[in-house]
Amino acid sequence: MKQAAMPIILRLLVFVGLLGLQSIPARAGEDACPETAQQYWQKFRASVHQSNLIAITDVSYFPFVIHGTLDDSEKRSVDREEFIKIFPALLEADPGLSPAATTMKSLVETTLRLTPSHCKANQFRVGDWVFHLTSEGWRFVEAYIDN
């Protein structure tokens, strides 16, 4: 009887140990978006919601890079003036994150906070838009769009 109980107790201890590991919070900075990125995102979202192109361009980096959505698509760089012209198309682009068609504008509006899945090192990505931490702070630096 004692020998049969031992494997059960051992399994129970391993199971409880695994449950305990899952409740350990991530260390600061590990898998979490920096608070500066969260603050930037809130201002950027507000600017998109208000259709404030001046504020959006002020927190973007130029030359801004546009990629096609295919791997072999060419990159092209645009200046501030061209960015303003193409920004409505960037808002209407489908990020391709769900079976139903949607837009980057709706994704921006519904992404209230950045999650760990958005962030990696000194960049974060929301849908098809990429943001980098530069010497001037966080900036919207590139977007993917069907050409």
Query: Which pLDDT score is estimated for 73?
Result: 81
For the domain that residue 37 is a member of, what is the CATH number?
3.10.450
Query: Which pLDDT score is estimated for 55?
Result: 98
Asked if residue 23 belongs to a domain, the reply is no
Asked if residue 66 belongs to a domain, the reply is yes
Query: Which pLDDT score is estimated for 26?
Result: 42
Determine the length of the chain. Answer: 147
Secondary structure percentages of the chain, helix, strand, coil, to 5: 45, 20, 35
pLDDT one-digit tens code per residue, 70-94: 777 889 999 999 999 999 999 999 9
Domain of residue 109 covers 29-144
Query: Which pLDDT score is estimated for 48?
Result: 98
Comparing CA positions, the residue from 94, 90, 92 lying closest to residue 82 is 90
Task: Provide the 10 A C-beta neighbour count for residue 147.
Answer: 10
H or E segment and range at residue 82: helix 80-92
Asked if residue 5 belongs to a domain, the reply is no
Q: Record the pTM.
A: 0.76
Asked if residue 137 belongs to a domain, the reply is yes
Asked if residue 48 belongs to a domain, the reply is yes
Asked if residue 6 belongs to a domain, the reply is no
Number of domains in the chain: 1
